[in-house]
Amino acid sequence: MREEPGPTEWATGSGGGAGTGVGPWVDEHDGPTPVDPRYDPELLRDGDTRNVVDAYRYWSREAIIADIDTRRHPLHIAIENFGNDANIGGVVRTANAFAVDTVHIVGRRRWNRRGAMVTDRYQRLRHHDSTAELLAFAAGAGLSVVAVDNVPGSVRLETAELPRNALLIFGQEGPGITDDARAGADLLVSIAQFGSTRSINASVAAGIAMHAWIRRHAELAHAW
């Protein structure tokens, strides 16, 4: 049985209990206080209770973003937010975990950040007023557009060849993906279902589709 905590599990550190991150840096216990500019003096002094992997403990937010920027995937995620979708926070959190390049919010600017669990601070976010504006961005950035919804005309995500430089678009609870997104997509994919429900939660669907891209294109040696 594995005894050491994994890199994404809470470390207990000096002074910090399980579930609370790490306490203040203590030279006697942790070694000489780091002088590396990536370390944040306040976090070293007060402790670091943020939900970050151990490798980023005590690092400043800017240093963490800069480090992830060197490893971001050529994968963009968009979620349509014309109604105020409650799933966006969860989508942002998963996008952060997979080092997605940018999460695009289409429609309303406001979204419920609760489910993001502060991960939005480390994730590039971009707003577009309309799906047309999003599609223009994708064309300019050389991204293949993949609309994700279980609608007629879709092909199975499980067997589709997801493009490497991709923008995955997700719809919202109720209406699903807009006609504009469907019309503008290079590929329309659905996740196979076997039960009675007509659809799954948009955040869950986004996680499944992002992971399908990861399995196909990510370099696992670069994962934590």
Site residues, ligand SAM (CB under 6 A): 148-151, 170-173, 176-177, 190-191, 193, 198-200, 202, 205
Closer residue to ligand SAM in complex, CB, 122/213: 213
**Smallest distance from ligand SAM to CB 196, Å:** 13
Closer residue to ligand SAM in complex, CB, 97/205: 205
Residue whose C-alpha is closest to residue 164's, from 131, 134, 142 = 142
The partner residues of 144 in beta bridges, in order of sequence, read 166
Give the residue nearest to ligand SAM (CB).
Answer: 171
**Smallest distance from ligand SAM to CB 54, Å:** 33
Closer residue to ligand SAM in complex, CB, 64/91: 91
Question: What would you measure as the largest C-alpha separation in the chain, in angstroms?
Answer: 64
Amino acid at 162: L
Backbone dihedral angles phi then psi of residue 152, each to the nearest 5 degrees: -55, 140
**Smallest distance from ligand SAM to CB 108, Å:** 16
**Smallest distance from ligand SAM to CB 27, Å:** 50
Closer residue to ligand SAM in complex, CB, 68/200: 200
Q: Cβ-count burial of 222 within 10 angstroms (0-12 exposed, 13-18 middle, 19+ buried)?
A: exposed
Half-sphere exposure of 125 (CA within 13 A, CB side): 21
